């Protein structure tokens, strides 16, 4: 479902760029800034960190308000794919919306890693709105110390 914005130029917290964006939208139908405001569900991309550690890659996504059943994780041909959906909360008809900035809809993120991982050992946990995925490196790609033999 597409996010509807209820911006008015005099609202508290509304960026001064609002009027510029609004004018561009009126002129061209959309602006280069559209993705920054999350106007379409496909524009939503949760914040992500990917870190390479000695023995694994660690990926963290911020997914506040989602549950584990709202997210799907797959790993195939070296590509980690994370997708899901944040459903829009209904506002009662008698309530007046003053500002609506949270983004709803589907998202999908894909990450390819620079070295092979053990796909059968990938694990994930969801704690306090943060999805953490651990991808252990294969034994061949883990750093190791080489023993020097004296001759």
49 contacts 60 by C-beta, under 8 angstroms: yes
Tell me what percent of the residues of the chain surpass a pLDDT of 70: 70
107 contacts 3 by C-beta, under 8 angstroms: no
Full set of structural domains in the chain with CATH: 44-136 (2.60.40.790)
The pLDDT value recorded for residue 83 is 93
* Dist. CA 55–CA 66, nearest whole Å: 29
From its phi and psi, is residue 33 left (phi > 0), alpha (psi between -120 and 50) or beta?
alpha
| Residue keyed to tokens 């106007």 | 39
Per residue in 30-87, pLDDT tens?
444 444 443 443 457 898 999 999 899 999 999 998 999 999 999 988 899 999 998 8
Between residues 28 and 90, the one the model is more confident about:
90
Between residues 137 and 92, the one the model is more confident about:
137
- Residue 24 confidence class, pLDDT cut points 50, 70, 90: low
Average pLDDT value over all residues in the chain = 77
Residue 12 has pLDDT above 50, yes or no: no
The pLDDT value recorded for residue 3 is 38
Residue 18 has pLDDT above 90, yes or no: no
Residue 16 has pLDDT above 70, yes or no: no
The pLDDT value recorded for residue 17 is 62
């Amino acid at each position: 479902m597409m996010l509807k914005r209820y911006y008015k130029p005099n609202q508290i917290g509304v960026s001064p760029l609002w009027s510029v964006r609004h004018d561009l939208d009126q002129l061209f139908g959309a602006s280069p800034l559209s993705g920054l405001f999350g106007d379409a569900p496909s524009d939503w991309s949760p914040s992500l960190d990917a870190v390479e550690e000695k023995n694994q890659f660690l990926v963290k996504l911020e997914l506040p308000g989602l549950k584990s059943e709202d997210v799907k994780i797959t790993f195939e041909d070296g590509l980690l794919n994370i997708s899901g959906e944040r459903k829009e909360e209904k506002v009662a008809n008698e309530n007046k919306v003053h500002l609506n900035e949270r983004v709803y809809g589907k998202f999908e993120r894909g990450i390819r890693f620079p070295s092979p991982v053990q796909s059968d050992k990938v694990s994930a946990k969801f704690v306090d709105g943060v999805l953490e995925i651990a991808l252990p490196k294969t034994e061949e790609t883990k750093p190791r110390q080489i023993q020097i033999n004296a001759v």
